[in-house]
Structure formats: C-alpha cells, structure tokens
Structure 1
C-alpha cells in the first residue's frame, strides 16, 4: 500500500497495470474483512446527506404558515414563495458547482465540506432576525442540498457493484423521503405542543443533528475507487475495492476501471466542450437533461413544499393539515421501499414510464375533484387520498429512477460535472415550480394549475418512451462503451 511519503501518480501519467498490483498489499493485517457489511456502513453514513436534503426541503412545508405569522418576517404570498424557493435556487448552483468540485477534489471530500455548510446554514436560518437574512441562509442551505443531490449518488454509484448499484444508490432516495417524513412529523408534533408563532425556529433547528453525524461519519469513509483510479492512485483504489468487494471481484473491477481510464487518457482530454463536440456524450447529456426535467414537471414539489396549504385550501384547518400531511411522508417512505425492491426485478425504463403515467393521472383527478366538489371535509379527504396516490407513483418509481440514472449514464471523465449540470437543470425546474405554484393557483385556480401539470406529465411520458435507454445490470464501464457504440458518430468511432 502506498505511504504518505510515496508520490502520488496523477491522471495522464504513466501508471502500472492493475495486473501488477498485489491484493496482499490491500489486505488488513488481521485478515478479517466484511465487504458487504462495510459497503452497508458506507451507504448509511453517506446517505445522511440525502436525509438532510429531505428534511431541509420538507420542513418548510409546515414551518411556512408560522413564518407568515411571525412579526419579524412579515411574509405575504410573494415572500412566502421567495423563502421556499430560495433554497431551490441555491441548490441549482450547488449542483453544478458540487459536481465540478467532486471531479476535482473527490466525492468524499466534497461531502465533508457540504456537512459543514448544512450545519452553519441551518443555524443561520434558525436565528435569522429578518426576511433578508432568512433568504440568504436558505440560499446557502440550498448550495449544500444541491451539492449533496449530486455528490452522494455519484459516490454511491462508484462504490457499488453493478448487481447492487440500483438498490444501494436508491438508498439515498429512501433517506430523502425519510428526511421529509421526519420534517412532517416533527412539524406536527411541535405545532401541537405550542402555540408560539416562533416554533418554526425549532422545526428548522433539528437539521443540525444529522449534519454532525454526516461530518463525523464521512471522516471514517474511503474515497470513491473510480475517482482514485482516475487520479492514477491505483494502490489506493485497490485498497478501497478490497474493502467493498470479494477478492476476485475487486481484481476484475480494478482492471476494468484502469482500462477505461487509460482509454480516456489516450484520447483527447475531455473538457466541458465534450458536451458540445462529442456526439455520443452530447446525446447522453441530452437524455440526462430530459430525465431531470421529467422528475420535476410532475409538480411533485408543489406538494412537498405547499402540501399544508393545498390541504387547507381543500378544507382542513392548519393543525389538521399538518397532521394529515404526515400521510404524504409515510407513503413516500413505503413507496420508496417498494421502488428499491422493484429496481432489482424490473428495468429502469418501464419503471419510469409507469411512474410518469401514474403521477399524471393523479394530478388530473386532483384537478377534476377540486373543480366539481365544494370546499369541505369530503373534498379534503379525496384530495389527501389523491396526493398520497401521486406520491406513491412519484417516490416509488419516478424519483428513484431519476437519481439512479443520472448517477450512472455519464462517462467517468465528466461524471461529476455532467451530473452537476443536469442536477442544476433539475433544481432550476424545481425552482420554477416552487416559485410559481402559489402564483398560478392565485391566477387560474387550483384545478387549472393541476390540469397544466397533467399536460406536462403527458409530454414527459412521450419523452421517456421515445428516448430513455435501459441501464440495469451493466457496470459503469460497460455502459460507457455501449453508449459510444450506440450513440456515437461512425466517423468519430473510426478515428
């Protein structure tokens, strides 16, 4: 194993073949190891970034009504949208910056820095004395959310074996919806324990705890083996692979990573211009952008951010809406468990098609019943049932497939950057939905707004059916080679 005094080999320099590396150097001195157990620990610790993602996006759902009543913030419908969506705008910036920095400095390193930002920005929101500082710290918190939305799935995707990649990467989606459920639950508990208009500060403060766990936990986690291989640090790469794979799998995967890295080093160095100049990368990037937009134009975050307001509009009072909103969080968690199981049984493409069709149908029905039924208990419970149905399809199919495919379809040389750019597009679409939802309801009414999302869902279904490839059961390196062959320009392939 390399020592601290040994010079590190950089990408592009002459590197030894992995066949020359002896796995004896990577073995622990006591000879004991548990690859599956250690990989499970890596997954649990790193996905605390997803838990923070979910809590910080979900907590505003219940905190916003109390923020609006605060004499310090003095919110109206416009500034409510600003507070909710400022995090999302920050996430768009954080996604592209986090992806680029993760390519340069490593996936683990960026997650460590994100944990610090989560902690500091959360405290800033908790103690914000006015609207301006609240928006500023929500924007900073968004940088961490966006960075985590890219860095954590990339890290998990590169740590996972091909056969388990779908299940392990979607553990992050499970932690996201768990974080949202925690937010909904704590919101309801705190709201029923106190009538103080400043209780929203306690709702926000809870997010500091998982940020601390993420930081201390990632200190003990290794760097992604594929990132290490890209840097020419083959001994370190072998050491990590030996900790998370069986011996024969580690050796074979190391050779595959090294071969792909050498092929890329022998070619023209890939920069961001590859998105414009290399045919197959451009086509894969187009698919990635489409996947990102498809997840958000369903209007999922209109429910995650404004679920309490939607239920109040339908007939619940504030505290009843907060309690009822827990059902949305519970079904999201249960549906994600189902989605993780299904990813091991069926392909990504049919799952996404079913998810998009199901969410579009639920939105159509919400629009219809909101139009034909008067405000009251019956309408409130029907809308609640339909939002639960919507989230079952969204969190059980659409969202897991989205984050999984974005983490696996891009080539290693620009994986973090390309994931970051598509993540930025996803968050910008999220921002537009979050910012304009209340405005659209005010302009056109809740029924027409959901009819608009239904129409967008139909467009999303056509895109998925027409363009989405299948990626199940393939290693990241084999996917890269298949995309080159399938989407590449014949002249480029010949060169």
Structure 2
C-alpha cells in the first residue's frame, strides 16, 4: 500500500472520538424515545394522583410535542448561527432541567409546562444531533453512525414501556430518571469539537482543520477531506436558492411537498396513537392495568425489532417500495382492530387477537413509513436549502403529532374507539395514494442526482425509473 493509500485509509477509520460522537447522538435519540414514550404508562398514575380526566391527560401528553415544534425550528437556526456543538450543549442542559422539573411538578399545569421545556430539547435533538454526526463521521461510516439516532429512539421507547409495565416505579422517578443520561450527554459533549463544516462555512479554516484532526487518526492526511469540505461550502454559498427563502422556489417545491407530506402521514398513520395511549385505550375498554402495560412492552419491542429489520433491508428493497408495500397492511390491521371494538368483540376472550392485531399494525408501520420521516429530510432537499427543508419537515411532523395527541381521547369519546381506528385506517389509505403519486424512488441515487432531477423539473416517480 502506497503512502497516499495509507493516509486515506487512516482518515476513514473509526476513532475513539467518533465513537463518542455517535454515542452522544444515540443518547439524544434514546432520550427522545424515552421522554415521549414514558408518558404512556405514567398517565395511569398521573390521572390518579392529580384526579384529572382525559382532557388534561391529552394536554400533558401533547405539551412535549408543542415544545418539540419550537425546539426543532429554534435549534435549526441556532445551530446554523452558533454552531452544532454549542447547540447540543444547550440541549443537554435543557434535557436535565426539563426532566427534573417534570418529576417535581406539584400539579398538572406545571407538569405540562415542564414537559414543554423538555420537548424543546427533544425537538432540538432531532434537528441537530444527526447533522452533527454526519458532519464529523468518515464518509464510509456516515450512514451507519447517523442511524444510531433512529435505532436509539426505539431503544428509548422499549425502556419506557418496561419501566411503565413494572408498576413499582413511581411516575415522578420514572420521568426524573432521564436526567442521568442527559447529564452524561452534556459531559461527553464537553470533550468533542465543533463541526469542521460549520467552522469552514464561518471562514475559520484553521479551526476546521484542528477540529477534524481531533476525530481522525493521528498523522492522517486531511487535505482531501478538507478540500471537499471547502468545495461544498463554496457551492452552498454561491447557490442562488438558499435557506428558508429558497424553499419558496418553484423547482424546490416538489421536494417540500413530498417531504412535509410524508412527515404528516408518518403521524396520521396512527403510530403515535398506539405509542402514547395504548394503556389508556385498553383500560378504558375493560383491560386491567397490568395487561395494558404489558401490551405496551410488546409494542415497544415490535417497534425496535421492525425498525432494525427495515433499516437492514431499506437500501435493497427501496424507500418507495417498502413504504407502499407496508401501508396497505397497516390500514388492514386498523380496520380489523376497529371491527373488534365496533362489533363488541373486545372482551377477555379476544385479548390475544387484539394484541396480535396491534403488534401487526406496529410491525408494518414502524418497519415502513416510520423509517422515512427522518431519513428523507437529509436527502430530498437541495444542498443550500437542506437545513431549512429538514426543519420544515420536522416541524410538520411534530405539529401533526400535537394535533393528534390533543384530540385523540376526545375523538374516541365522541365517535367511539372502533370508529377512530377506522378513521386512521383511512389516513393510511390516503397516504398510500399520495406517496404513490408523489414520492420518487430515491434509493441508490446520489444527493447530486436528486438535486439535478429537481432543477430540471423531473421529480415525479416516473422520472426515477
């Protein structure tokens, strides 16, 4: 092996610092999954402690999502102006403060406000952590390291459902426990550098080289990687369509429609209904608390396992194909589930069938459309509008989540549990039609190819065959 080949190989190896970067991203993803998932089991205790009904339960569950919308939009701008590193340090502090404040809240009002603060960190993490990892990781490992965030969300949901199902941990302790990994995330961030790409964009080329050298093997030749970073920064700065204003451009609009439409339908699929409210829905329909909480654990494990399977096959099956194949089965699962409740077949003898249908729905949704919500935001938009596009997509996702969470239990009380499942089945059918017509197959296409299709006005599914 020549000297140049040795330098190139050294520059693309994983180092201890890169592993720490991926660990920080994983912790932020775990906190996202845990903090949003823990409310599922905790609501049963919170309702008893505070003596509140479904309206307050919806507000408490949704407050973290309102905060997430604010956090996603705010941290998008903050990370562009002040850097990824400083933004993640702030997010770590807010995670700790929000977790402790929520666990100590004396009434539902302060609990909701504390979870609003916690939501700021959740939304900010979804916006900033994957970008930070992508900008520091060697190209050969970038995809796998960024996906640590997605996998960690599932791990966080599983841990939250297990904690809830244990029924021996007070809800205050369960919520406050999240402060420990949040503090660890903050401490780990202290030893990491700023993003070299952000530093280069700010004209700090010497600091960019220093930052890159801290996450590459000692003695590596960084000239090629630094040249690529400079070229990308120059391309972004020279682009005529940039930032939030660039999203208004006619040629960018198809990407925005697909991205934000996909984000909305990931929530209208019904998965958040299942993640947040399964114990409440089941106990309201005669299930015991223990049974309902154990079902949540099964659903959390299904979420994690099918996400791992989906991530393993997505590049072979294709994003569009995987989504379109799984959506009809998700809709069918909800139709069957709704029929159980509409026809009165929701008693103890039907528990195995209801659980099996819930698991089937979770498998087809988590292993299908749920994989696309965060993935497409990093690849569908032109380079100069990518940060703004990802933020708009994230806000669309969280905003839809807020509306669902605030209205779901009231909707079930108004029209019935089974009818609500039918409604969400209809949303899945509409999602299939929308994505069939609008979403091209992006698998195997470089970011430059995708941008070229957009610029030429050829972004329909037929244009990518």
TM-score (norm 1): 0.83
Deviates more, 1:106-115 or 1:117-126: 106-115
Whether 1:275 aligns to 2:275 is no
Q: Give the structure 2 partner of residue 52 of structure 1.
A: 31
Query: Deviations 1:34-77 (Å, cap 9, x if unpaired)?
Result: 4366544422222211111000100000000111111xx33111
Q: Give the structure 2 partner of residue 491 of structure 1.
A: none
CA distance in 2, matches of 1:249, 1:298: 48
Contact 1:280 1:487 in 2 (8 A): no
Deviates more, 1:374-383 or 1:330-339: 374-383
SS of aligned partner of 2:317? coil
Whether 1:77 aligns to 2:54 is yes
Deviates more, 1:48-57 or 1:460-469: 460-469
Structure 2 residue runs of 5 or longer lacking an equivalent are 460-465
Q: Give the structure 2 partner of residue 398 of structure 1.
A: 369
Deviates more, 1:418-427 or 1:118-127: 418-427
Deviates more, 1:355-364 or 1:49-58: 355-364
Q: Give the structure 2 partner of residue 376 of structure 1.
A: 347
Alignment of 1:17-416 (within 5 A): 34-35=13-14, 38-70=17-49, 73-160=50-137, 164-189=141-166, 191=167, 193=168, 199-238=170-209, 243=215, 254-268=226-240, 270-276=242-248, 278-416=249-387
Give the superposition deviation at 1:372: 2.7
Greater relative contact order structure (CA < 8 Å, 6+ sep): 1
Alignment of 1:385-464 (within 5 A): 385-464=356-435
Q: Give the structure 2 partner of residue 6 of structure 1.
A: none
Contact 1:370 1:446 in 2 (8 A): yes
In structure 2, the CA distance between the partners of 1:382 and 1:142, relative to structure 1 (3 Å rule), is same
Query: Deviations 1:281-336 (Å, cap 9, x if unpaired)?
Result: 23222221112112111011111110112232454201221122111111111112
Deviates more, 1:326-335 or 1:380-389: 380-389
Contact 1:103 1:417 in 2 (8 A): no
Query: Deviations 1:317-373 (Å, cap 9, x if unpaired)?
Result: 012211221111111111122122113433222222234333222212211222234
Give the superposition deviation at 1:165: 4.5
Q: Give the structure 2 partner of residue 10 of structure 1.
A: none
CA distance in 2, matches of 1:114, 1:323: 32
Q: Give the structure 2 partner of residue 3 of structure 1.
A: none
Give the superposition deviation at 1:166: 4.2
Contact 1:289 1:425 in 2 (8 A): yes
SS of aligned partner of 1:273? helix
CA distance in 2, matches of 1:372, 1:245: 64
In structure 2, the CA distance between the partners of 1:366 and 1:149, relative to structure 1 (3 Å rule), is same
CA distance in 1, matches of 2:317, 2:442: 11
Structural RMSD (CA): 2.9
Contact 1:314 1:383 in 2 (8 A): no
Contact 1:111 1:218 in 2 (8 A): yes
Contact 2:67 2:119 in 1 (8 A): yes
Query: Deviations 1:74-94 (Å, cap 9, x if unpaired)?
Result: 311111111111111111111
The size of the alignment, in residue pairs, is: 453
CA distance in 1, matches of 2:33, 2:338: 27
